[in-house]
Amino acid sequence: MSAKHPVVIDLKFERREIDAALAGAFAGRIVLRASDPAADLSEARYAVIWRPDPTLFERAPKLEVLFSGGAGVDYILAMPSLPDIPIVRFVDESLTTRMSEWTVLQTLSHLRQVPAYSRQQRDRVWKELSQPEAKDLTVGVMGLGVLGLDTVTKLKVMGFNVVGWSRSRKAIDGVETYNASQLDTFLARTDILIGLLPLTPDTRGIFDAALFSKLRQGGALGKPVFINAGRGGSQVEADVIAALEKGVLGGASLDVFEKEPLPETSPLWQMENVIITPHAASASDVRALFRNSEVQMNAYEAGETLKHVVDRKTGY
Ligand code: NDP
Ligand code: OXD
Protein backbone atom coordinates (compact mmCIF):
# COMPACT_ATOMS: atom_id res chain seq x y z
CA MET A 1 0.00 0.00 0.00
CA SER A 2 1.34 3.47 -0.84
CA ALA A 3 2.21 5.84 2.04
CA LYS A 4 -0.45 8.25 3.25
CA HIS A 5 0.37 11.78 2.19
CA PRO A 6 0.88 14.64 4.67
CA VAL A 7 -1.89 17.14 5.38
CA VAL A 8 -1.57 20.78 6.38
CA ILE A 9 -4.13 22.46 8.62
CA ASP A 10 -4.76 26.21 8.27
CA LEU A 11 -8.01 27.00 10.06
CA LYS A 12 -9.00 30.27 11.70
CA PHE A 13 -11.02 28.41 14.34
CA GLU A 14 -10.50 28.19 18.11
CA ARG A 15 -7.13 26.56 18.77
CA ARG A 16 -8.58 24.47 21.61
CA GLU A 17 -11.22 23.06 19.28
CA ILE A 18 -8.63 22.19 16.65
CA ASP A 19 -6.33 20.52 19.20
CA ALA A 20 -9.18 18.45 20.61
CA ALA A 21 -10.37 17.41 17.16
CA LEU A 22 -6.86 16.45 16.01
CA ALA A 23 -6.58 13.78 18.71
CA GLY A 24 -7.03 10.54 16.79
CA ALA A 25 -7.65 12.28 13.46
CA PHE A 26 -5.76 11.57 10.22
CA ALA A 27 -4.40 8.18 11.33
CA GLY A 28 -1.06 7.34 9.70
CA ARG A 29 -0.57 10.82 8.23
CA ILE A 30 1.84 13.57 9.11
CA VAL A 31 -0.24 16.57 10.19
CA LEU A 32 1.40 19.98 9.76
CA ARG A 33 0.18 23.28 11.08
CA ALA A 34 0.54 26.32 8.86
CA SER A 35 0.34 28.49 11.99
CA ASP A 36 3.85 27.20 12.86
CA PRO A 37 6.13 29.42 10.75
CA ALA A 38 8.93 26.84 11.01
CA ALA A 39 6.81 23.96 9.68
CA ASP A 40 8.04 22.58 6.36
CA LEU A 41 4.89 22.26 4.23
CA SER A 42 6.71 21.41 1.01
CA GLU A 43 5.50 17.78 0.93
CA ALA A 44 1.90 18.40 1.99
CA ARG A 45 -0.64 17.06 -0.54
CA TYR A 46 -3.83 18.13 1.21
CA ALA A 47 -4.84 21.30 3.00
CA VAL A 48 -7.81 21.66 5.34
CA ILE A 49 -8.48 25.40 5.39
CA TRP A 50 -10.72 28.20 6.59
CA ARG A 51 -9.56 31.70 5.70
CA PRO A 52 -5.93 30.53 5.37
CA ASP A 53 -2.81 32.64 5.24
CA PRO A 54 -2.20 33.92 1.68
CA THR A 55 1.32 32.42 1.76
CA LEU A 56 -0.06 28.88 2.06
CA PHE A 57 0.26 28.03 -1.64
CA GLU A 58 3.87 29.24 -1.76
CA ARG A 59 4.79 27.17 1.27
CA ALA A 60 2.87 24.09 0.09
CA PRO A 61 3.50 23.83 -3.68
CA LYS A 62 2.56 20.13 -3.98
CA LEU A 63 -1.04 20.40 -2.80
CA GLU A 64 -3.43 18.12 -4.71
CA VAL A 65 -6.76 18.81 -2.93
CA LEU A 66 -8.13 21.66 -0.80
CA PHE A 67 -10.75 20.83 1.84
CA SER A 68 -12.80 23.86 2.85
CA GLY A 69 -13.64 24.26 6.52
CA GLY A 70 -16.96 25.75 5.47
CA ALA A 71 -19.70 25.11 2.95
CA GLY A 72 -19.03 28.43 1.21
CA VAL A 73 -15.84 28.67 -0.83
CA ASP A 74 -15.94 32.29 -2.04
CA TYR A 75 -12.97 33.07 0.25
CA ILE A 76 -10.89 30.37 -1.49
CA LEU A 77 -11.84 31.36 -5.02
CA ALA A 78 -10.78 34.95 -4.22
CA MET A 79 -7.29 33.90 -3.07
CA PRO A 80 -4.33 35.03 -5.17
CA SER A 81 -2.19 32.25 -6.72
CA LEU A 82 -4.93 29.67 -6.15
CA PRO A 83 -3.64 26.44 -7.72
CA ASP A 84 -5.84 24.62 -10.23
CA ILE A 85 -6.68 21.68 -7.97
CA PRO A 86 -10.01 20.32 -6.69
CA ILE A 87 -11.72 22.25 -3.88
CA VAL A 88 -13.98 20.15 -1.67
CA ARG A 89 -16.82 21.93 0.18
CA PHE A 90 -17.73 21.00 3.74
CA VAL A 91 -21.02 19.09 3.70
CA ASP A 92 -22.08 17.50 6.96
CA GLU A 93 -25.24 16.74 8.87
CA SER A 94 -24.16 18.89 11.83
CA LEU A 95 -23.71 21.94 9.59
CA THR A 96 -27.05 21.35 7.88
CA THR A 97 -28.91 20.80 11.14
CA ARG A 98 -27.44 23.89 12.77
CA MET A 99 -28.39 26.02 9.79
CA SER A 100 -31.98 24.80 9.79
CA GLU A 101 -32.19 25.49 13.53
CA TRP A 102 -31.21 29.08 12.78
CA THR A 103 -33.50 29.63 9.78
CA VAL A 104 -36.51 28.08 11.54
CA LEU A 105 -35.74 30.06 14.72
CA GLN A 106 -35.58 33.34 12.77
CA THR A 107 -38.73 32.58 10.79
CA LEU A 108 -40.64 31.73 13.96
CA SER A 109 -39.20 34.79 15.73
CA HIS A 110 -40.76 37.07 13.13
CA LEU A 111 -44.02 35.08 13.04
CA ARG A 112 -44.31 35.26 16.84
CA GLN A 113 -43.05 38.87 17.04
CA VAL A 114 -40.11 38.13 19.33
CA PRO A 115 -38.39 41.53 18.80
CA ALA A 116 -41.61 43.39 19.72
CA TYR A 117 -42.21 41.24 22.80
CA SER A 118 -38.57 41.70 23.89
CA ARG A 119 -39.07 45.45 23.68
CA GLN A 120 -42.32 45.22 25.63
CA GLN A 121 -40.61 43.11 28.31
CA ARG A 122 -37.84 45.70 28.63
CA ASP A 123 -40.51 48.42 29.03
CA ARG A 124 -42.71 46.27 31.36
CA VAL A 125 -45.59 46.43 28.88
CA TRP A 126 -48.29 43.76 29.13
CA LYS A 127 -49.96 43.75 25.70
CA GLU A 128 -50.91 40.88 23.47
CA LEU A 129 -49.98 41.33 19.80
CA SER A 130 -51.72 39.86 16.76
CA GLN A 131 -50.96 36.23 16.17
CA PRO A 132 -51.01 34.98 12.57
CA GLU A 133 -50.35 31.29 12.03
CA ALA A 134 -47.58 29.67 10.02
CA LYS A 135 -50.12 28.49 7.46
CA ASP A 136 -51.05 32.13 6.75
CA LEU A 137 -47.53 32.88 5.52
CA THR A 138 -45.40 31.89 2.56
CA VAL A 139 -41.68 31.53 3.12
CA GLY A 140 -39.52 31.79 0.00
CA VAL A 141 -36.12 30.12 0.14
CA MET A 142 -33.48 31.32 -2.31
CA GLY A 143 -30.90 28.55 -2.75
CA LEU A 144 -32.12 24.96 -2.68
CA GLY A 145 -28.81 23.21 -2.12
CA VAL A 146 -27.81 21.05 0.82
CA LEU A 147 -28.84 23.73 3.35
CA GLY A 148 -31.85 25.19 1.54
CA LEU A 149 -33.49 21.79 1.05
CA ASP A 150 -33.25 20.92 4.74
CA THR A 151 -34.62 24.33 5.73
CA VAL A 152 -37.56 23.85 3.35
CA THR A 153 -38.38 20.44 4.88
CA LYS A 154 -38.27 21.76 8.44
CA LEU A 155 -40.33 24.87 7.65
CA LYS A 156 -42.97 22.60 6.13
CA VAL A 157 -43.10 20.61 9.39
CA MET A 158 -43.83 23.88 11.22
CA GLY A 159 -46.80 24.46 8.91
CA PHE A 160 -45.50 27.27 6.67
CA ASN A 161 -46.30 27.43 2.98
CA VAL A 162 -42.91 27.20 1.32
CA VAL A 163 -41.73 28.14 -2.16
CA GLY A 164 -38.18 27.74 -3.45
CA TRP A 165 -35.91 29.30 -6.02
CA SER A 166 -32.64 27.99 -7.48
CA ARG A 167 -30.62 28.18 -10.67
CA SER A 168 -32.03 24.91 -11.95
CA ARG A 169 -35.59 24.05 -10.96
CA LYS A 170 -35.95 21.40 -8.21
CA ALA A 171 -38.81 18.92 -7.70
CA ILE A 172 -39.78 18.98 -4.00
CA ASP A 173 -42.95 17.36 -2.70
CA GLY A 174 -45.47 19.97 -1.55
CA VAL A 175 -43.25 22.93 -2.50
CA GLU A 176 -43.64 25.13 -5.55
CA THR A 177 -40.26 25.74 -7.05
CA TYR A 178 -38.94 28.28 -9.52
CA ASN A 179 -35.82 28.53 -11.64
CA ALA A 180 -33.51 31.51 -12.11
CA SER A 181 -35.68 33.11 -14.82
CA GLN A 182 -38.81 33.01 -12.61
CA LEU A 183 -37.48 35.20 -9.79
CA ASP A 184 -40.23 37.86 -9.98
CA THR A 185 -43.03 35.27 -9.76
CA PHE A 186 -41.31 33.67 -6.78
CA LEU A 187 -40.84 37.03 -5.01
CA ALA A 188 -44.46 38.09 -5.56
CA ARG A 189 -45.57 35.08 -3.49
CA THR A 190 -43.05 35.53 -0.66
CA ASP A 191 -43.82 37.01 2.79
CA ILE A 192 -40.60 35.88 4.47
CA LEU A 193 -37.52 35.61 2.26
CA ILE A 194 -34.63 33.37 3.31
CA GLY A 195 -31.26 33.69 1.53
CA LEU A 196 -29.13 30.55 1.49
CA LEU A 197 -27.12 31.34 -1.61
CA PRO A 198 -23.38 31.01 -2.17
CA LEU A 199 -21.52 34.20 -3.04
CA THR A 200 -20.68 34.12 -6.76
CA PRO A 201 -20.47 36.76 -9.49
CA ASP A 202 -24.17 36.04 -10.22
CA THR A 203 -25.38 36.37 -6.63
CA ARG A 204 -23.27 39.36 -5.55
CA GLY A 205 -25.62 42.18 -4.59
CA ILE A 206 -28.73 40.19 -5.55
CA PHE A 207 -30.64 41.30 -2.41
CA ASP A 208 -31.12 44.93 -3.37
CA ALA A 209 -33.86 47.58 -3.42
CA ALA A 210 -35.35 46.29 -6.67
CA LEU A 211 -35.65 42.77 -5.28
CA PHE A 212 -37.17 43.89 -1.97
CA SER A 213 -39.77 45.96 -3.83
CA LYS A 214 -41.05 42.80 -5.56
CA LEU A 215 -41.80 40.89 -2.35
CA ARG A 216 -45.45 40.46 -1.40
CA GLN A 217 -46.85 43.39 0.58
CA GLY A 218 -49.90 43.12 2.82
CA GLY A 219 -49.49 39.48 3.86
CA ALA A 220 -50.31 38.19 7.34
CA LEU A 221 -47.34 40.09 8.83
CA GLY A 222 -48.24 43.26 6.90
CA LYS A 223 -44.79 43.67 5.46
CA PRO A 224 -42.21 41.21 4.15
CA VAL A 225 -39.22 40.04 6.19
CA PHE A 226 -35.70 39.40 4.92
CA ILE A 227 -33.55 36.65 6.48
CA ASN A 228 -30.00 36.02 5.21
CA ALA A 229 -27.42 33.43 6.24
CA GLY A 230 -25.78 32.87 2.85
CA ARG A 231 -23.12 35.55 2.39
CA GLY A 232 -23.09 39.27 3.16
CA GLY A 233 -21.75 40.08 -0.30
CA SER A 234 -25.13 39.04 -1.69
CA GLN A 235 -26.93 41.85 0.14
CA VAL A 236 -26.69 45.57 -0.59
CA GLU A 237 -26.72 46.68 3.03
CA ALA A 238 -27.62 50.30 2.27
CA ASP A 239 -30.69 48.98 0.44
CA VAL A 240 -31.62 46.68 3.35
CA ILE A 241 -31.45 49.66 5.71
CA ALA A 242 -33.43 51.92 3.36
CA ALA A 243 -36.07 49.23 2.81
CA LEU A 244 -36.49 48.84 6.59
CA GLU A 245 -36.66 52.61 7.08
CA LYS A 246 -39.22 53.09 4.32
CA GLY A 247 -41.32 50.12 5.44
CA VAL A 248 -40.69 48.15 2.26
CA LEU A 249 -39.40 45.50 4.68
CA GLY A 250 -41.02 44.98 8.07
CA GLY A 251 -38.09 43.15 9.63
CA ALA A 252 -34.87 41.26 9.06
CA SER A 253 -32.61 38.60 10.53
CA LEU A 254 -29.03 38.86 9.35
CA ASP A 255 -26.15 36.54 10.12
CA VAL A 256 -23.82 37.71 7.34
CA PHE A 257 -22.69 41.18 6.32
CA GLU A 258 -20.82 43.00 3.57
CA LYS A 259 -18.11 43.71 6.13
CA GLU A 260 -17.56 41.37 9.07
CA PRO A 261 -17.51 42.06 11.95
CA LEU A 262 -20.44 44.42 11.31
CA PRO A 263 -19.03 47.92 12.04
CA GLU A 264 -20.23 49.48 15.30
CA THR A 265 -21.47 52.44 13.25
CA SER A 266 -23.94 50.36 11.24
CA PRO A 267 -27.54 51.53 11.80
CA LEU A 268 -28.59 47.87 11.63
CA TRP A 269 -27.50 47.33 15.26
CA GLN A 270 -30.21 49.69 16.52
CA MET A 271 -33.06 49.01 14.12
CA GLU A 272 -36.37 47.76 15.41
CA ASN A 273 -37.35 44.30 14.25
CA VAL A 274 -33.80 43.46 13.14
CA ILE A 275 -32.09 40.43 14.63
CA ILE A 276 -28.33 40.22 14.23
CA THR A 277 -26.07 37.21 14.80
CA PRO A 278 -22.28 37.29 14.20
CA HIS A 279 -21.89 34.88 11.26
CA ALA A 280 -22.80 32.10 13.64
CA ALA A 281 -25.89 30.59 12.01
CA SER A 282 -24.07 27.32 11.51
CA ALA A 283 -20.57 26.73 12.82
CA SER A 284 -18.45 23.96 11.37
CA ASP A 285 -17.87 21.05 13.72
CA VAL A 286 -14.09 20.59 13.50
CA ARG A 287 -14.23 16.89 14.41
CA ALA A 288 -16.72 16.29 11.62
CA LEU A 289 -14.59 18.36 9.24
CA PHE A 290 -11.49 16.27 9.98
CA ARG A 291 -13.47 13.01 9.81
CA ASN A 292 -15.01 13.92 6.43
CA SER A 293 -11.69 15.14 5.00
CA GLU A 294 -9.86 12.03 6.18
CA VAL A 295 -12.44 9.70 4.61
CA GLN A 296 -12.13 11.60 1.33
CA MET A 297 -8.29 11.59 1.41
CA ASN A 298 -8.28 7.82 1.91
CA ALA A 299 -10.84 7.33 -0.87
CA TYR A 300 -8.87 9.62 -3.20
CA GLU A 301 -5.68 7.65 -2.58
CA ALA A 302 -7.63 4.47 -3.35
CA GLY A 303 -8.50 5.95 -6.76
CA GLU A 304 -12.08 6.96 -5.94
CA THR A 305 -13.77 10.19 -7.02
CA LEU A 306 -13.92 13.11 -4.58
CA LYS A 307 -17.38 14.26 -3.44
CA HIS A 308 -18.71 17.83 -3.10
CA VAL A 309 -16.13 19.28 -5.47
CA VAL A 310 -16.66 22.95 -6.34
CA ASP A 311 -17.48 23.83 -9.94
CA ARG A 312 -15.10 26.69 -10.70
CA LYS A 313 -17.30 27.91 -13.55
CA THR A 314 -20.38 28.52 -11.38
CA GLY A 315 -18.32 29.39 -8.29
CA TYR A 316 -19.98 26.99 -5.82
P1 NDP B 1 -25.08 24.34 -2.25
O2 NDP B 1 -23.99 24.51 -3.23
O3 NDP B 1 -25.50 22.96 -1.86
O4 NDP B 1 -26.41 25.07 -2.81
C5 NDP B 1 -26.38 26.33 -3.41
C6 NDP B 1 -27.78 26.63 -3.94
O7 NDP B 1 -27.77 27.96 -4.46
C8 NDP B 1 -28.22 25.71 -5.09
O9 NDP B 1 -29.57 25.40 -4.99
C10 NDP B 1 -27.95 26.57 -6.31
O11 NDP B 1 -28.76 26.27 -7.44
C12 NDP B 1 -28.30 27.94 -5.78
N13 NDP B 1 -27.66 28.97 -6.59
C14 NDP B 1 -26.35 29.24 -6.75
N15 NDP B 1 -26.18 30.25 -7.60
C16 NDP B 1 -27.41 30.63 -8.01
C17 NDP B 1 -27.89 31.62 -8.90
N18 NDP B 1 -27.07 32.44 -9.55
N19 NDP B 1 -29.21 31.72 -9.07
C20 NDP B 1 -30.07 30.88 -8.43
N21 NDP B 1 -29.68 29.92 -7.57
C22 NDP B 1 -28.36 29.80 -7.36
O23 NDP B 1 -24.72 25.20 -0.97
P24 NDP B 1 -25.14 24.97 0.55
O25 NDP B 1 -26.62 24.84 0.61
O26 NDP B 1 -24.32 23.90 1.16
O27 NDP B 1 -24.66 26.36 1.20
C28 NDP B 1 -25.16 27.59 0.74
C29 NDP B 1 -24.35 28.74 1.30
O30 NDP B 1 -24.63 28.93 2.68
C31 NDP B 1 -22.83 28.56 1.30
O32 NDP B 1 -22.29 28.80 0.03
C33 NDP B 1 -22.38 29.58 2.32
O34 NDP B 1 -22.13 30.82 1.70
C35 NDP B 1 -23.58 29.70 3.25
N36 NDP B 1 -23.29 29.20 4.60
C37 NDP B 1 -23.37 30.09 5.65
C38 NDP B 1 -23.15 29.66 6.93
C39 NDP B 1 -23.32 30.57 8.07
O40 NDP B 1 -23.01 30.20 9.22
N41 NDP B 1 -23.84 31.77 7.86
C42 NDP B 1 -22.77 28.26 7.23
C43 NDP B 1 -22.73 27.42 6.06
C44 NDP B 1 -22.97 27.90 4.80
P45 NDP B 1 -28.70 24.83 -8.17
O46 NDP B 1 -29.34 23.87 -7.19
O47 NDP B 1 -29.51 25.01 -9.39
O48 NDP B 1 -27.26 24.53 -8.41
C1 OXD C 1 -19.66 28.29 5.82
C2 OXD C 1 -19.74 29.32 6.85
O3 OXD C 1 -19.58 28.63 4.64
O4 OXD C 1 -19.56 29.00 8.05
O5 OXD C 1 -19.68 27.09 6.18
O6 OXD C 1 -19.99 30.47 6.53
Q: Which atom of ligand 1 is nearest to the CA of 199?
A: 34
What distance in angstroms lies between residue 270's CA and the mean position of ligand 1's atoms?
29
| pTM: predicted TM-score of the whole model, two decimal places | 0.98
What distance in angstroms lies between residue 133's CA and the mean position of ligand 2's atoms?
31
What distance in angstroms lies between residue 70's CA and the mean position of ligand 2's atoms?
4
CA distance 196 to 141: 7
pLDDT at 2: 60
Pocket probe mutation, ligand 1, options 178, 181, 196, max atoms within 8 Å of Cβ: 196
Give tens-digit pLDDT for 191-225: 999 999 999 999 999 999 999 999 999 999 999 99
Give tens-digit pLDDT for 65-80: 999 999 999 999 999 9
Pocket of ligand 1 (CB under 6 A): 70-72, 95, 99, 143-148, 166-168, 180, 196-200, 202-203, 229-231, 255-256, 279, 281-282, 316
Residues of the chain with pLDDT under 70: 1-2
Q: Which atom of ligand 2 is nearest to the CA of 95?
A: 5
pLDDT at 241: 98
pLDDT at 20: 97
What distance in angstroms lies between residue 96's CA and the mean position of ligand 1's atoms?
12
Q: Which atom of ligand 2 is nearest to the CA of 231?
A: 6
Q: Which atom of ligand 1 is nearest to the CA of 229?
A: 41
Pocket of ligand 2 (CB under 6 A): 70-72, 90, 284
pLDDT at 77: 98
pLDDT at 164: 98
pLDDT at 3: 77
CA distance 151 to 294: 28
- Residue ranges, CATH 3.40.50.720, the chain: 7-90+284-301, 93-276
- The superfamily CATH assigns to domain 7-90+284-301 is NAD(P)-binding Rossmann-like Domain (3.40.50.720)
Catalytic residues: 231, 279
Topology of domain 93-276 in CATH is: Rossmann fold (3.40.50)
Q: Which atom of ligand 1 is nearest to the CA of 282?
A: 40
Which ligand gives the minimal distance to the CA of 165? 1
What distance in angstroms lies between residue 153's CA and the mean position of ligand 2's atoms?
21
Pocket probe mutation, ligand 1, options 87, 102, 163, 167, max atoms within 8 Å of Cβ: 167
Pocket probe mutation, ligand 2, options 67, 91, 95, 197, max atoms within 8 Å of Cβ: 95
pLDDT at 186: 98
CA distance 141 to 187: 10
